[in-house]
Chain A
Amino acid sequence: MGLPVLLDAYAYGNRWRYLNPAEKGLLSGLALAAALAARSPLAAGVVFACMAALTVGGARIPLLTYLRLLLLPAGFLLAGVASLVVSFGGGDIPLGTLPGIGLSVFLSETGLVQASLVLVRSLGAVAALYFLALTTPMTEIIGLLRRLRVPALMLELMVLAYRQVFVFLQIAREMRVAQASRLGYATTGNGFRSLATLGANLYLRAHHRSQLLHRSLVCRGYEDDLRWLERDYPRSTRNLLLAAVVGGGLLALSLLV
């Protein structure tokens, strides 16, 4: 439950916090495109190394935290890559037969080649995503989306949701501690009942909060439009150019190698 708070804290507290979000967004977007466009593991590996180095060295995210975050998608990645490597009923390298079903398992060479590319490509894309997530607060990302012409209603829902996420996380954590200290999670059955009460209560709190929010906004002259100020960031042509050159370079490398 602490993960959203952790990522959010780094987004607000890294060394590159006050760089213009457009620069960071541009770099991250180009790096994502580069990772997806990569046709060789080498190019994708360069994207990964570059973005990881920028996040740890540039934005000063602690290396250990960064490595721990990289482990998060490991489960999906391993299962997904394993499905690419093995094939049943025919392949290049026989591994054995599944007991009981009688299916023979093979490793396929095309599968291995594909799996290694997908593995490194995913890591490269994850590094690009983490760069954005760890350097740029959600409010600035919403500001970027506004400049990309995302509909106002969508942005308003995001702003409302973003604020409440942390309120609800806090409430949920407190309810969970209260339940656990009364042996609410001692058995699986208890766990289900406790979690259901927690969820239902959380929903009621959410519903109640939305009404309070509406009333307080109406008191302040709300007329179907949420308006808010965005922080002014220094516009640095140099940084924008750097982001474009580094991101563009990665993309060019991916398309060529």
Chain B
Amino acid sequence: MHIMEGFLPAEHALAWGAVSLPFVALGLRAIKKKVRENPELKMLLGVSAAFTFVLSALKLPSVTGSCSHPTGTGLGAVLFGPLAMAPIAAIVLLFQALLLAHGGLTTLGANIFSMGIVGPLVAYGLFRAGRLIRLPQGPTLFFAATLADLATYLTTSVQLALAFPDPVGGFVAALAKFAGIFAVTQIPLAVSEGLLTVLIFNVLVKHSSRELHDLGLPLAREGARP
């Protein structure tokens, strides 16, 4: 979920920018190191940012009937790793602000934190943990992607509640209000995105394990193609 342009007060916008900046810098450093070993990776990451942007511009058939857009957070985190996702998310969010009028420049920091840092960390952590204890790949991916979306939406609600505490109930009441109102769209979205991520992965694993192997992923059915 994107916070729109201008919604956060100046101090909060600046603070979230300051929180997100080190993660983006760290991600860039990690990418730089990997690119030195494998120069093709730079193209792959640039093109992947475009892929994530286009994925987010597609309409998702939602389980409840209302339409929404996938975030690509879970898929990206599992494909490219959580560190690389912060700079990619920064690019995608900037493009979304300028080309889709979705999100904004002043809220870029806050949105990078929820969608480029918290979401990918949750997705990647859960996916790795699930693989480690040998859970089947499908359900693991579903929960990783769904819970990543939910974590993103809760982070956004926390950001909004911190900026606008309730005059009576304070932070907790405000959090309940924001989380409650946006739950209507965000919970179906999370489930839809989880399903979509699993389905996309199934197709990818079936037909292109070599491409996935380039990314160094520990996936089942490796080498299905010569």
Contact residues of A with B, CB < 8 Å?
Answer: 1, 3-4, 7-8, 32-33, 35-37, 69, 72-73, 76-77, 79-80, 82-84, 86-91, 106, 108, 110-111, 114, 118, 121-126, 128-130, 132-133, 138, 141, 151, 153-154, 156-165, 167-169, 172, 176, 185, 188, 191-193, 195-204, 206-207, 209-211, 213-214, 217, 224
B195 partner residues in chain A, CB cutoff 8 A? 192
Contact residues of B with A, CB < 8 Å?
Answer: 2-7, 9-10, 13, 24, 28, 31-32, 35, 39-40, 42-51, 53-55, 57-58, 60-61, 63, 75, 79, 87-88, 90-92, 94-95, 97-102, 104-106, 160, 164, 166-169, 173-174, 176-178, 181-182, 192, 195-196, 199-204, 207-208, 211, 214
Choice from A132, A138, A199 contacting B196 with Cβ under 8 Å: A199
In the complex, the answer to whether B105 meets A32 with C-beta atoms within 8 Å is yes
A213's nearest neighbour on chain B, judged by CB, is B43
Q: A122–B24 Cα gap in the complex (Å)?
A: 26
In the complex, the answer to whether A210 meets B54 with C-beta atoms within 8 Å is no
Q: A88–B92 Cα gap in the complex (Å)?
A: 37
In the complex, the answer to whether B5 meets A118 with C-beta atoms within 8 Å is no
In the complex, the answer to whether A195 meets B5 with C-beta atoms within 8 Å is no
Q: A234–B114 Cα gap in the complex (Å)?
A: 40
Choice from A35, A80, A132 contacting B4 with Cβ under 8 Å: A80
Choice from B47, B106, B176, B177 contacting A210 with Cβ under 8 Å: B47
Q: What is the CB-to-nearest-CB distance from B59 to chain A, in angstroms, rounded to a whole number?
A: 8
In the complex, the answer to whether A73 meets B58 with C-beta atoms within 8 Å is no
Classify the secondary structure of A's interface with B: helix
How many A-B residue pairs have C-beta atoms within 8 angstroms? Tell me: 252
In the complex, the answer to whether B91 meets A200 with C-beta atoms within 8 Å is no
A73 partner residues in chain B, CB cutoff 8 A? 4-5, 101-102
In the complex, the answer to whether A121 meets B46 with C-beta atoms within 8 Å is no
Q: A217–B28 Cα gap in the complex (Å)?
A: 22
Choice from B10, B40, B102, B178 contacting A211 with Cβ under 8 Å: B40
In the complex, the answer to whether A88 meets B49 with C-beta atoms within 8 Å is no
A202 partner residues in chain B, CB cutoff 8 A? 51, 54-55
A91's nearest neighbour on chain B, judged by CB, is B168
Q: Please name 24 pairs of A and B residues whose Cβ atoms are closer than 8 Å in the assembled complex, sorted by A.
A: A3-B100, A36-B106, A73-B102, A76-B7, A83-B177, A86-B177, A87-B168, A89-B173, A125-B5, A125-B104, A129-B97, A132-B98, A132-B105, A160-B49, A161-B91, A164-B51, A165-B95, A168-B53, A195-B61, A199-B75, A199-B196, A204-B207, A214-B40, A217-B43
Q: A203–B167 Cα gap in the complex (Å)?
A: 47
In the complex, the answer to whether B48 meets A206 with C-beta atoms within 8 Å is yes
- Add 20 more A-B contacts to A7-B99, A83-B178, A210-B44 (CB < 8 A): A8-B99, A36-B106, A76-B4, A77-B4, A87-B173, A89-B173, A108-B167, A118-B164, A128-B5, A129-B104, A132-B98, A153-B35, A154-B90, A168-B51, A195-B58, A196-B199, A198-B58, A203-B211, A210-B40, A214-B39
